Amino acid sequence: MKAEAAEDGEAKYLDLALSLMEKAAQLEEEMEKVPGIYKEKKLEIALSAIEQYKQANELLIKAILVGESAEMALRKLERMLSARATLRTKIIAALYGETEPVGPSELAERFGISTQAVHQALQELDKLKVVEKDEKGRYSLRPGVMDEVFRLLWQSVAELKARGAI
């Protein structure tokens, strides 16, 4: 298996794992849209998402075992996450510059997209405890979030430098 991976410059297992992770995330989004009264359908979708994540984890382990490039893995993971998280990133950046909470419709207008898309992204950020919602339904960054973002960024840069990747 290691020889096979060495012959191919592409990270096969990593690509497959990232694809499965994306499918699992899509299943989670689909599950959120199913009304609460359809508990069996929600459970079926949740189990499918869990299975996708399980398979993705197995592929990630194979990627590590065959020595797929860590640098390539980081680049591919970054591309996948940034493609999926572009709106969330824009929201974080927009809220970082605000002194008052901002509503989903105002953000949607700024970005030229639907309020529903912004609302979904804000709910994801709320689940991650990145934003907080006030009594008027307006959002702001939680205190300390940007400090944590910058800490993680510098930690990642230091780790990449230590590996000689940058």
Whose CA is closest to 18, among 66, 67, 65, 75? Answer: 75
- What's the number of domains the chain is made of? 2
CATH of the domain at 76: 1.10.10.10
Mean pLDDT score, 45-57: 80
Q: Which of 26-40, 64-78, 114-128, 146-160 has the lowest mean pLDDT?
A: 64-78
Q: How confident is the model at residue 41 (pLDDT cuts 50, 70, 90)?
A: confident
Between the alpha carbon of residue 133 and those of residues 18, 33, 95, 143, 152, the distances in Å are 31, 21, 12, 13, 24
- The whole domain housing 127 covers 69-141
Inside any domain, residue 149: no
pLDDT tops 60 at residue 90:
yes
Quote the pLDDT of residue 70. 56
| CA pair distance 71, 49, nearest whole angstrom | 27
Same domain for 74 and 62: no
Same domain for 75 and 98: yes
Q: How confident is the model at residue 9 (pLDDT cuts 50, 70, 90)?
A: very low
Average pLDDT of every residue of the chain: 77
pLDDT tops 70 at residue 78:
no
Same domain for 86 and 23: no
Tokens representing 32? 């959120």
